[in-house]
Amino acid sequence: MKKVLAMGLTLALAACFISSPALAADIDLAKKSTLETITKRGELRVGFDASYPPFELTDSKGRFVGFDIDVAKEMAKAMNVKFVPVNTAWDGIIPALVSKKFDLIISGMTVTQERNLSINFADPYIIVGQTILLNKKHEGEVTSYKDLNDPKYTVTSVLGTTGEQAIKRMIYKAKYKSFEEESEAALEVLNGKADAMVYDLPFCSQFMAKQGKGKMVFLDEAFTYEPLAWAIRKGDPDFLNWLNHFLRQLKNDGRYDKIYEKWITGTDWIHEVD
């Protein structure tokens, strides 16, 4: 019995010695997390390119506004720190993140495998795939892309885009009219010369807000998977964990829905940027 107890004690002590370096490494990693930097600094520095409405843009008073801006402000509030916007040109936004010009990117960034090689992504916060602008005469009759897959409908999109690809792959029975410009494809529907337009959610949201009210129906639920997510530097599991839990909380306590309704399905925001 004594031998068994002695062996058990030896194994327990060995386990402690083995786990101690790992525990110390975990503590060191936590201390190096961007979370620590943000809380000590008292600022959340957010990188974005203010040229992608309704996600980030500049209003008539020169302020940064948009879906992502409102989300970032909620994030800073949850951290009890100041929100600091850092407007950055899109072609340099990832290098700026890597070189620590700001803490994370919240800028309508699509998750791609190529980008994921140099940065990490949190869980997608919105899917901005293909949506539908529908002529109002079809309200109630057409409720999804599946209803449009019929030869009696004429559908528009833009040449060489994922909208065109979606039509050819998923709405192939409908008559298709391609255009060089987004606005031309949308006006074709607005003027009753086509039944629906299939295109990216941000554009459809803007067009609906500016010209479609009372004349079109916006089916805003994306039916293709083109996820947007927040980007952070590699090697920071604590920050990634915090962001994913923040996103779940945001989506489940009503704040996300309010922001979504304001910027994606709503139209009042357009007066802020005129």
Per-residue pLDDT at 49 exceeds 80: yes
How many CA atoms does the CB half-sphere of 31 hold within 13 Å? 6
pLDDT tens track for 68-115: 999 999 999 999 999 999 999 999 999 999 999 999 999 999 998 999
Domains within the chain, CATH numbers bracketed: 34-127+227-273 (3.40.190.10), 130-219 (3.40.190.10)
pTM over 0.75: yes
Per-residue pLDDT at 162 exceeds 90: no
Amino acid 4: pLDDT: 42
**How much is the average pLDDT of 12-35?**
63
Angle between helices 237-252 and 67-79 (to 10 degrees): 110
Q: How far apart are CA 10 and CA 30, in angstroms?
A: 30
pLDDT tens track for 244-271: 999 999 999 999 999 999 998 887 888 7
Residues 6+ apart with CB under 8 A from 224: 129, 130, 162, 166
Amino acid 12: pLDDT: 53
